[in-house]
Structure 1
């Protein structure tokens, strides 16, 4: 519980200036029946009225970002640097967020500090009751985020976007809170909610080319637990008078897309003229149990696969696309079918542009925007959540609790399943339980039991888990052991900062509980960002991992080898952005192509990184054609072209043909360099044409 200074304010609006209201003191309680975190959803309605501050204001990244945002039209009113009262960019710098709140009256804060400081910065913003908090940093430890959400759920003043998110932007209101590439955006009337940054930039570019523009774009971010969900965004888009159509960008992991489908079904029933909705979901080809670039891109037991998420959205009446390049034409068709006048929407967007909005698709960008060091907060490293199983995992648990009932035997077919991981919808840790370990039934019978992060599961929670496990008829000793085991697992989960921990349970002929097949994943960010849990992460044995993936990690490249034993997989892929990399593999599969790898060069992409990626991909003798698919949102296409040409000079290409698609930032420069290189490269603008050629070459 927090004692805070409350501001009772009207919900933000893009049309009405923000009204400052009476200040009073009050206490917050999670037991309040009137207000909750869900009530902060309208804080997402940013616009010309929105007053923005920066935490970490004087840092190099924040400074350049603020300059660009101010030039674009965002109302930046100052920032925070701990212990400092000064001026920066002609704006006030204050020593605390609370002081900034009192003196500058911000509606939103952009947190531009490194991952190891980000949790504290978010907490300070919550305590100061900043209405909208945007956290862009990647690799904030999961358990820090769970602690933050345990704070957020007790209050109704602050809304979080992120973490690990490009942020939130209102092109129609000239307000950017994040690091979205401004030249890609245009004011208009299509709203977008996305998990993936690069996929969202591709989506935005398609909508801009179609002349429709964007009203509001919200990024959930790629972390395990997001401060704002698809449904939160949809609730805002539904009632936004500037929004005529909606796009959802999803991916494997979590239940956000499934919940969005349920919300859309209800929306279509209650609305006489629902806004048309289209979507893309990445990760259909993602191998089970693998994390695909984003920290949250993996499916927990009971969660739908990406393919089933697509079907759920389709069944709700959402139009699905296989690549975001198609959204512009698809949305025009849907708007026409819904009886909306597309020409008027395009005219309105065009008029907004003539009023001075920064919208051109190929506007020159500041060198800092595309440089290697511009966005270090989002540069990915291979987040290989430490995975330990079998005897090593059992040893860890028995060392932690000598009474833990480990068994080295194979679990019987009538065993039970238990896991502690995250319920992303509840934004809490949860016990996942199933009365069966039978693979064909586990997905349907697993049930989630979320519990408070700080307090842990209650006795009632434990009892509910026991009942679902169908252990009510077990011998008394086994039931006592099971209750203790649940407590041990949840305590271990928190103290050792696990991502997940699971086991199979059975009862021996002597009436004793036995735990089999222990499997534990630990959060790498806890160690890499904050140096916590060093003893746990010292257990990593890279000799048992895929060598090319480990080597890629050292270069800041996210690489996943696909179908290693299948010779029919013969297309190598090099992509920037985890979501776009997943979508590339999916889209090629729909066209009959099979990929040897997932590779995300990410925000660290440089000419040298591209060259190194070529080397790693071509180590796989299966590769018959290499597909470079780059959307330059934050990545400079000219620089990518330099890397491709460097690779041709220095890497043994084995006669492997290369198909290149470059779109986005400085695309004309990159395309010209490729065209004039004299090298055996095939360059394309459109994804469909490029993908068709790749599959054709792979089949030769």
Structure 2
């Protein structure tokens, strides 16, 4: 049971959730009962859904060669063999004949919801969904299913998967060359940051036990606390790494669990962490689908504070995890047990646990006055039109009346939609006083919650009918048009609620992957958006121009790594001009296009290429850099840091190019050079 003093450190909306989550009483027939299904290893029998597809085939060959016990797969309408393994037409038939412990889903985003639901209905113990861009409302429906059963555990979506380095079991697309059997458990939102952490612990000679990709989706099937519960009782795990980022409250829940764990354990396992997004653009979606902040959610600095208060060692770059964990394991008295028997040492010992953080708090996240974009944010006048269609009084604020906030959004803790209400209107107080009221996705809003919402908004009895009308209108719009956030400000005039501000974000994935909501998508006005960001979007690049006087252009693969690059540059005294994620499947042409976009920003004095290869290959990135130099007649200095998949090949290409490139494999050396070159040109 969580102690009262721990609960007091949590925001009010988390206190009621954290307490029952750690109850010592016996629980039955709940999703929490499936946490033990995460214990994969040599014993795990794995199937693939979409088995005969190109990506699944390539992944299966690699995983089988590594040692994963893949026993067959499923492709609708097919019977036979593939890779000398059985292929069956349904998951239910595969369960009966192959008796798998887990399934990896390797189908496109528009097919993934159906594949996940089929696996849940067949009661596969562990379902791993790697696809990104699954519509939010499809995931809300899936989580509504998961809550009603106690057989199936979901990892993902938008996750690299789960891998046991000790048990040689990979269900996902993690770069195998980084892994080494050992004793550090890792749970992460970001794939690229987790690969960096894996490589760092491998270079430190520690290796890994179990690595769980929580994923960067808005709604994660497995969270940090679920993973921590596994690591606590796993004899092969002696140290733990947690990698979070902006968006949601999972890191705060983890901090509360860790604080309680350290108090009830005589010899707790040491824990190190990293949080990405300290310098994220306020109100923007930072690459990952879930990397944005909703009203009432904590920012990155708040998460770091809670983790530090719980006794967690926080580092500012994943390459520092190896040295940090060696120190922590030594101090804990665990250094002599379970150590890996192979693995080279760190090339340098310069990766310290120095933690430099901004002295002042970052700007308040997501408020009605800020612009947040998930690629489909509509103008306020169009938002007012949608409200009026539902009989809601909506027009511009006249300056009269006290403003209050009412929104419908995702509650990431309960994995359901919720009403968010705040009696305040200024950004700081609005978020501090915001309270969530979750409701079941399938059952809809429960009108019995209206009195509590009205009380929190400090509205009288006479306003409840008007409040219910506004809530029903927002919920109807949220559900039917697949919104992810409908945020309004309203005033009370003559006993009626009038909406005076409206900010509405709709799930672009619903249109892009399934062509749903074409009428809402047609409301997009690209003339309101940044031309460079639009240009990048056409090539699958996520580019966000950062405000201020940043002079270092960043080119990174992976949303988490891109956020951390901006943060770590700031810690070293530099200023990034942009966030740029080339995507996990970047090509040489994509890299060249990324250079083109960055070069349009006149503030940029140097370009910093920071690549850790997973799906992205180091040699391919290097060739992309050379292509950019050749075709764009580059005049700015470029610093390139390549680690991970094919790092040696990539570094060799850069070194032998004869071009004015500065190549490094150490992040701090590369960052220092980029900062020096940027400042020299000022």
- Per the normalisation by structure 2, the TM-score is 0.90
Instruction: Choose which of 608, 620, 627 in structure 1 pairs with 2:589.
Output: 608
Instruction: Choose which of 333, 350, 371 in structure 1 pairs with 2:341.
Output: 350
1: CA distance, partners of 2:218 / 2:614: 23
Query: Which residue number corresponds to residue 398 of structure 1?
Result: 388
Query: Which residue number corresponds to residue 326 of structure 1?
Result: 320
Dislocated runs of 4+, deviation >4 Å: 359-362, 410-413
Instruction: Choose which of 381, 387, 404 in structure 1 pairs with 2:377.
Output: 387
CA contact (8 A) 2:573 2:675 kept: yes
- The correspondence of residues 322-471 of structure 1 with structure 2, limited to 5 A, is 322-342=316-336, 344-346=337-339, 349-350=340-341, 384-399=374-389, 401=390, 403-410=391-398, 412=400, 414-471=402-459
CA contact (8 A) 1:571 1:595 kept: yes
Give the alignment's Cα RMSD to 1 decimal: 1.7
1: CA distance, partners of 2:40 / 2:400: 56
Q: How many pairs are equivalent?
A: 631
CA contact (8 A) 1:251 1:283 kept: yes
1:535 and 2:519 correspond:
yes
Question: Per-residue displacement from partner, 1:255-307 (whole Å, max 9, x unpaired)?
Answer: 01111111110010000000000011111000111000001000111111112
1:617 and 2:598 correspond:
yes
1:571 and 2:555 correspond:
no
Instruction: Choose which of 242, 249, 256 in structure 2 pairs with 1:255.
Output: 249
2: CA distance, partners of 1:208 / 1:383: 38
1: CA distance, partners of 2:50 / 2:398: 53
Question: Per-residue displacement from partner, 1:626-663 (whole Å, max 9, x unpaired)?
Answer: 1000011221111111111111111142x311111011
Query: Which residue number corresponds to residue 13 of structure 1?
Result: none
CA contact (8 A) 2:236 2:338 kept: no
- The correspondence of residues 62-211 of structure 1 with structure 2, limited to 5 A, is 62-211=56-205
2: CA distance, partners of 1:687 / 1:413: 53
2: CA distance, partners of 1:385 / 1:143: 16
Task: Give the CA deviation at 1:360.
Answer: 12
Gaps spanning 5+ residues in structure 1: where? 1-31, 354-358, 363-381
CA contact (8 A) 2:47 2:104 kept: yes
Query: Which residue number corresponds to residue 571 of structure 2?
Result: 590
1:658 and 2:649 correspond:
no
2: CA distance, partners of 1:634 / 1:115: 18
1: CA distance, partners of 2:496 / 2:95: 58
Task: Give the CA deviation at 1:385.
Answer: 3.4
Query: Which residue number corresponds to residue 362 of structure 2?
Result: none
Task: Give the CA deviation at 1:218.
Answer: 0.3
CA contact (8 A) 1:557 1:599 kept: yes
CA contact (8 A) 1:183 1:361 kept: no
Matched residue SS, 1:53:
strand
Matched residue SS, 1:603:
coil
2: CA distance, partners of 1:169 / 1:452: 32
Query: Which residue number corresponds to residue 646 of structure 1?
Result: 627
2: CA distance, partners of 1:608 / 1:186: 33
CA contact (8 A) 1:184 1:361 kept: no
- Per the normalisation by structure 1, the TM-score is 0.88
Gaps spanning 5+ residues in structure 2: where? 1-25, 348-371
- The alpha-carbon distance between structure 1 residues 186 and 383, as it changes in their structure 2 partners (threshold 3 A), is farther
- The alpha-carbon distance between structure 1 residues 626 and 457, as it changes in their structure 2 partners (threshold 3 A), is same
CA contact (8 A) 1:215 1:242 kept: yes
1:506 and 2:500 correspond:
no
1:516 and 2:505 correspond:
no
Matched residue SS, 1:387:
coil
